[in-house]
A = this chain, B = another copy of it.
Amino acid sequence: MSQRIAFIGTGIMGLPMAGHLLSKHFEVVIHSRTRSKAIALEQRGAKWADSPADATRDADVVCICVTDTPDVERVLVGAGGVIESAKPGTIVIDHSTISPIATQSLATRLAARGLVLLDAPLSGGDVGARNGTLSIMVGGEKTALESVMMILQSYGKTITHCGGPGAGQFTKLVNQILVTTNLLAVCEALKFARAAGLDLNTTLAATGGGAAASWQLLNLGPKIAAGDYKPGFMIDLLMKDLRILNESAAVLNVPIPLHELVQSFFLKAQSTGHGRDGTQAVFDAVAGDD
């Protein structure tokens, strides 16, 4: 029998993801802070619930797609939260990017009630959500992951079991170290190129085919050269991930000095009015154009 799904959080990511579940003929009950955002899903057959607890009552699987650690905590263990109504054996899939440490503690609290938490943060952005090509980094019980694979495959292309509880969140942070440092490399390289009098697009063409290549260079390099700072992925949203990264590094007692320097440029970009620009706007902070 098809799994009944509660989907909580129908924002820029959750809305298209829940839509993919409806396309696959899953029975979906939705809840979101703002009901108006979910109307399109109701029109397609999703049922509305007034709280996470109401959404969860008859669900086999609960998908969560909200913003930050406190949001997930509210949805799961707050008043009217999932924990109030979920039946034992319910699998909770948290697609939000939140603290891995808090995730581990939530997984323990849920396990005490017979619930399974999978942390399953996403990479691929709103484009990936719309196209159903997200990368999903999953932490938690492997057997639980296997039992929800059909759900994840509705919107995910690369689904990796990364380890126990929190491992998905930790892997997402690894991903963000790579993304931000590679982007800063592009910025500093183009800053140097400009100072040397080089044409930026020619420089991108000359360096993009070999050992210097990166997704950031190929995709954001041309935008930087063109002064196009439209998001993409907004600096304001990235800063939340970087805060979680810092907190986690502190808990793990692992120095990440390169990232600290990288982050300082994003902070500078945010504080000079680029918060709602795409991440590539950090070039202005690197190149001293602010």
State which of A10-18, A35-43, A53-61, A197-205 sits at the interface with chain B. A197-205
A167 at the interface (CB under 8 A from B): yes
The chain B residue sitting closest to A195, CB to CB, is B254
**B-contact 0/1 string along A148-179, CB 8 Å cutoff:** 00000000001011110011001101111111
A111 at the interface (CB under 8 A from B): no
Of the candidates B162, B209, B257, B261, the one whose C-beta lies within 8 Å of that of A158 is B209
The chain B residue sitting closest to A128, CB to CB, is B210
**B-contact 0/1 string along A175-200, CB 8 Å cutoff:** 11111011011101111110111110
Find out whether the CB atom of A206 lies under 8 angstroms from the CB atom of B252.
Answer: no
- Complex Cα spacing A117 to B162, Å: 53
Find out whether the CB atom of A185 lies under 8 angstroms from the CB atom of B182.
Answer: yes
Q: How many copies does the complex hold?
A: 2
**B-contact 0/1 string along A12-48, CB 8 Å cutoff:** 0000000000000000000000000000000000000
| Residues on B with beta carbons closer than 8 Å to the beta carbon of A219 | 211
Chain B proximity of A194: nearest CB distance (Å):
8
State the main secondary structure of chain A at its contact with B: helix
A262 at the interface (CB under 8 A from B): yes
The chain B residue sitting closest to A169, CB to CB, is B196
Find out whether the CB atom of A258 lies under 8 angstroms from the CB atom of B215.
Answer: no
- Complex Cα spacing A161 to B206, Å: 8
List residues of chain A with CB under 8 Å of any chain B CB: 100, 123-125, 128, 135, 137, 158, 160-163, 166-167, 170-171, 173-179, 181-182, 184-186, 188-193, 195-199, 202-203, 205-207, 209-217, 219, 248-249, 252-254, 256-259, 261-262, 286
